[in-house]
Structure 1
Amino acid sequence: MKKKHLLNLTLLLIFIYSCKQEPYSISKIEGKQIAIKDSLELDKDFDSLISPYREQLEKDMHRVLSYAPKTYTKSDGDLNTAIGNLMADVVFSEGNPIFNKRTGKNIDIVLLNHGGIRSIISKGNITTETAFKVMPFENSIVVVALKGQQIDSMMHYLSEAKRAHPVRGITLTLDKNYKISNALVNKKPIEKDKTYYVATNDYLYDGGDRMRFFKPNDSVYYLDYKIRNAMIDYFKKVDTINPKIDNRFTQTK
């Protein structure tokens, strides 16, 4: 009986050993060179499929919405620019009715960032494509409830940044050393215990451009409304835009 078990065990070991796979190794590599051409051949079937959509998109992008009597750039002013003022005013005019309908409250301040303006508005017809060039990002409007003390922090941020960040609803005056000499909200002194509603975009709310004064806050409201779409809606309403540099953010020389 023991010999039979020993024989079976021997046969099993021989079977396992014979089934053992040896490690693989690369013996050779084959390939061929494919030349890169200057152009790709057009897939006519695919092109005919997407052609109607492409034509409609091009038509929509080039649809005239309004008119610009001159060219506006983000470098045409020191601490506030016509194009920046336009964008801040658009966020208010198009965003406040939505915010008011949902909450019964009104936006006090708008704050965007200078770097978010990505193109000029050229003299001539304003199209949908214009809005996409000026604001190519998917940033949406956010309204944040802040106390007066945080508004003070926002004013100090603007004074130290020394950039024409688009603003609305504030009057901020700096002296020749960039120190704050006057800071008002809706033409009134800032009340430290008062709640102010500041419209911005989701990128800045999350701390973009070092704007860390948005958190903590009393509450935040997402309007689900892209700034680019607000611009398009505004352009559709006005025959001719007329933004100007004003006294909302200035320095006394």
Structure 2
Amino acid sequence: MISCKNDTGQLSEVQGKQVKIDTSFKAVDSIISFVAPYRNRINEVLDSTLAYAPKSLLLDDGAHNTSLGNLIADIVLTETRPVFKSQTGKDLDFVVINRGGLRSIISSGNITARHAYEVMPFENYISVVKLNGSAVRELIGFLTSAERVHPIAGMQIVLDKKGALDSVNINGSPFDESRSYYVATSDYLVQGGAEIGFFKTVDSVANTDYLLRNAIIDHLRKVDTLKAIVDDRFIQQN
């Protein structure tokens, strides 16, 4: 019986050393040759032209909405609507995504899949949340008071001269607090990401299994020229 006893050892010490990576490390030709065709194929796919941007799309060219933010939010709305409809039979109402999730601008010129990875480097999926009217009201309040410009699509928010909420339209109709809305966003936010003010209360969540980055790439393949501007989807009256 003694020989079958399992003794639990106690960790007494951990040792480590810093390994400096410099020119003393030489590439291994056999590994380089093995990896080369895969690397070349990946670069070929990522660097092939999908669309063209006549002007740079930025994240700081508007007070309440930006050209790049509008582009990405519009893409999510356009590409997610048919997916959500086919999965649930429901209609998508609007889109809200977080400014912090967009990590690069799109410079003018040829646009490739690599640009999509630069703008959206995270493995975030598109989720659709069902919000009741009160929850949408809270979301609108968060958007109007946030210091950062968070992209929206399918919704128009108008502030008065003093910055107070003047009106909200969703899909061209006045916001109705007595009904519920379906909102597309990043699963990161639904799971309680950094911008916790987005979705405090949700009635339900539908996971589309659609990567946000893939939606961008799918859209780039369909268009010839990217056109996105600062518009009136979120403005303050003069």
Number of aligned residue pairs: give it. Answer: 220
Asked if the contact 2:77–2:154 (Cα under 8 Å) also holds between the matched residues in 1, the reply is no
Asked if the contact 2:158–2:165 (Cα under 8 Å) also holds between the matched residues in 1, the reply is yes
- Partners of 2:88 and 2:21 in 1: CA distance: 59
- Give how far 1:97 is off: 0.7
TM-score with structure 1 setting the length:
0.82
Asked if the contact 1:78–1:163 (Cα under 8 Å) also holds between the matched residues in 2, the reply is no
Partner amino acid, structure 1, of 2:60: S
- Give how far 1:158 is off: 0.7
| Corresponding position: 1:166 with 2:151 | yes
Asked if the contact 2:127–2:184 (Cα under 8 Å) also holds between the matched residues in 1, the reply is yes
Alignment of 1:191-206 (within 5 A): 191-206=176-191
Asked if the contact 2:142–2:197 (Cα under 8 Å) also holds between the matched residues in 1, the reply is no
- Give how far 1:181 is off: 1.0
Partner amino acid, structure 2, of 1:129: R
- What corresponds to 1:9 in structure 2? none
Classify the secondary structure of the residue corresponding to 1:211.
coil
- Give how far 1:36 is off: 6.3
- Partners of 1:102 and 1:174 in 2: CA distance: 36
Greater shift, 62-71 or 187-196, is seen at 187-196
Instruction: Flag the structure with higher helix content.
Output: 1
Post-superposition CA distance 1:192-234 (Å, at most 9, x none): 2311000000111123243345243221100111111100000
- Partners of 1:228 and 1:36 in 2: CA distance: 33
Greater shift, 60-69 or 170-179, is seen at 170-179
Post-superposition CA distance 1:103-152 (Å, at most 9, x none): 11111010001121111111100001111111111111000011111111
- What corresponds to 1:81 in structure 2? 66
Instruction: Describe the shift of the 1:120–1:154 C-alpha distance in structure 2 as closer, same or farther (beyond 3 A).
Output: same
Post-superposition CA distance 1:2-59 (Å, at most 9, x none): xxxxxxxxxxxxxxxxxxxxxxxxxxxxxxxx98642521111111111110110111
- What corresponds to 1:151 in structure 2? 136
| Corresponding position: 1:57 with 2:61 | no
| Corresponding position: 1:190 with 2:175 | yes
Asked if the contact 1:160–1:178 (Cα under 8 Å) also holds between the matched residues in 2, the reply is no
Instruction: Flag structure 2 segments of 5+ consecutive residues without an equivalent.
Output: 1-18
Post-superposition CA distance 1:158-210 (Å, at most 9, x none): 11104321101111011233211111212222222311000000111123243
- What corresponds to 1:180 in structure 2? 165
Partner amino acid, structure 2, of 1:244: I
Partner amino acid, structure 2, of 1:47: I
- Give how far 1:72 is off: 1.1
Classify the secondary structure of the residue corresponding to 1:208.
coil
- Partners of 1:113 and 1:144 in 2: CA distance: 15
Structure number with greater Rg is 1
Which of 105, 118, 132 does residue 133 from structure 1 map onto? 118
Instruction: Flag structure 1 segments of 5+ consecutive residues without an equivalent.
Output: 1-33
Instruction: Describe the shift of the 1:44–1:217 C-alpha distance in structure 2 as closer, same or farther (beyond 3 A).
Output: same
Classify the secondary structure of the residue corresponding to 2:121.
coil
- Partners of 1:240 and 1:36 in 2: CA distance: 43
- What corresponds to 1:249 in structure 2? 234
Instruction: Describe the shift of the 1:35–1:187 C-alpha distance in structure 2 as closer, same or farther (beyond 3 A).
Output: closer
Which of 217, 221, 234 does residue 232 from structure 1 map onto? 217
Asked if the contact 2:98–2:195 (Cα under 8 Å) also holds between the matched residues in 1, the reply is no
TM-score with structure 2 setting the length:
0.87
